[in-house]
Amino acid sequence: MKKIFSFVAALCLFALALPAFAQSAITVKNQDIAFDFPKSMTFSIDASSASEIQTMTLVARFENVTRRVQAKITPAKEVKAQVKWNLDTDSSGADGGYLPPGVSANYTWVIQDAAGNKLETDPQTFTVADNRIAWQTVENDDLAIHWYGAGKAFGQDIFDAGIATLKKVRDELGAGTGGKVHIWFYTDSEDFRTSMPDMNVWTGGRSFGEYRSIILLTTPTDPQEAIEGARHELTHQVVFDSLGGGFARQAFPHWFNEGLATYNQFNGGSLPGYLATPLKNAIKNDNLPRLKSRDGNFPADPTEALMSYALSYSIVDLMFKQFGADKVHDVYALFQKGTAADDAFKQVFGVDTDGLDNLYRKSVGLAERDYSASGIPTPKSIPTFALSSAETPTQKGAATPTTQSVAVANTPASGAATNVPQSSNANNNGGATTGLCGGVLGVFAFAMLGAYVTSRRTRRASDAMLRDDLASRKRRKPTQH
């Protein structure tokens, strides 16, 4: 019986060794990645095989996105291949898509030859970086602040404020910790404008929630401006992480997202003039928009956009003052469960979105509106510059990280950055070879085992017959001559 088990074990070991034998025919001599930010990054590989190499596929794996790009090669036994990833294109381009600084991922190459051999290289890690700039960095496991053009104290002050903001907002909303967030502070406007494709002149910053990367323009002489920008965008990041994907994130009103971010940006204090003035004028002229009209993107008009920021802030400020931090925490918990906005507000505050709208109108001395009356039009939201947290619709079957933008100083924010690369096969394992012992070879092993057992039985039967014949002969008397 021990011999049988030894035989089966040997078959399994042979099966597990088959992939290694198959892969050994392909050899990788060199692989590399070169950055030319913000234009491109180039992946290269040099491989050979006893048979012609037919396909070489780059597999780039980000945290939630996998992208496969097949290199264009001429089949040969020795091949040098490249995949140029164009960073200055949107995600619809087959050869790349924009990636912000700070994005980390790993990549492998899957190589196949004419004989059916297949090799997937060991994962290599890379981080996208704007290598035009000599960055200074201060960081821990939660946050990394990158800057240039100012002394160490500049970055340390922002870092300290950022860590405090993350703790405050997470406690405030009951949100768990996400991954490490990178904030890149450009202190030169030209560097900033060229760091992303299609940069609009109004944009002061952009946040890529899916990759936890934030890009901001600031002045090296005003750390307070940088701190406020960090507070704003870190609030968006906590919201992005804690709401997850699907309906919860889609149902969360844009005004609530911006209101929370602006509230934390200024620590619940008074608004600066460039935000306060447009709101005061709207109150004075009694032309405040219906709050529900700010569920989606803010208007493109600069004055309307700034007024929308201020109105959103004011509604959130009213929530904290009238209902208390615990109630704000409770209503956010309902959003995390995917509860619709009106239902969430009604359950916790006792009023829906229009009810909040009228509470604010009353607080500033305006008459309440009857939004059920057909005579009062709802202001129409128009496409915007993706101010601070505008979400890009996700295509069916594709993972599309959200791009956000924020206004800094006294200018409104601008257009959404192009989408990051989408997954062409998010669940694909990259062509890794699997063992056969439990599958086809298992059938072969049992067949061999059956033949072995049958052979043993036949031999035993033959031995028994021989023993009986010898015994019979011994019992016979010898013949006398």
Domains of the chain: 24-127 (2.60.40.770), 192-216+223-405 (no CATH)
- Candidate from 79-83, 191-195, 262-266 with smallest mean pLDDT: 191-195
Asked if the model's pLDDT at residue 200 lies above 50, the reply is yes
CB 233 within 8 A of CB 183: yes
Task: Look at residue 297 in the predicted model and tell me its pLDDT.
Answer: 86
The model's pTM is 0.69
- Candidate from 7-16, 48-57, 91-100 with smallest mean pLDDT: 7-16
Residue 214's pLDDT band (cuts 50, 70, 90): very high
Identify the residue with better confidence: 99 or 330.
330
* Pair of tokens at residue 234: 């870190």
Task: Look at residue 450 in the predicted model and tell me its pLDDT.
Answer: 39
Torsion of CA 401, 402, 406, 411, to 10 degrees: 110
Taking residues 199-209, report their average pLDDT: 73
Taking residues 431-446, report their average pLDDT: 28
Residue 97's pLDDT band (cuts 50, 70, 90): confident
Asked if the model's pLDDT at residue 374 lies above 70, the reply is no
Taking residues 146-173, report their average pLDDT: 95
Q: How far is CA 409 from the centre of its chain?
A: 29
Strands 143-147 and 136-139 come out as antiparallel
Closest by CA to 67, choosing from 371, 427, 381, 322, is 427
- Contacts of the segment 168-171: beta carbons below 8 A, 24+ positions apart: 168/264, 169/234, 169/235, 169/238, 169/260, 169/264, 170/238, 170/242
- In percent, the amount of the chain with pLDDT more than 70 equals 70
Q: Name the residue type at position 128.
A: V
Task: Look at residue 365 in the predicted model and tell me its pLDDT.
Answer: 96
* Pair of tokens at residue 230: 């960090």
Asked if the model's pLDDT at residue 459 lies above 60, the reply is no
pLDDT tens-digit map of 29-55: 999 999 999 889 999 999 999 999 999
* Pair of tokens at residue 283: 């109150």
- How far is residue 141 from each of residues 42, 126, 232, 442, measured CA to CA in Å? 29, 18, 20, 47
CB 8 within 8 A of CB 25: no
- In percent, the amount of the chain with pLDDT more than 90 equals 54
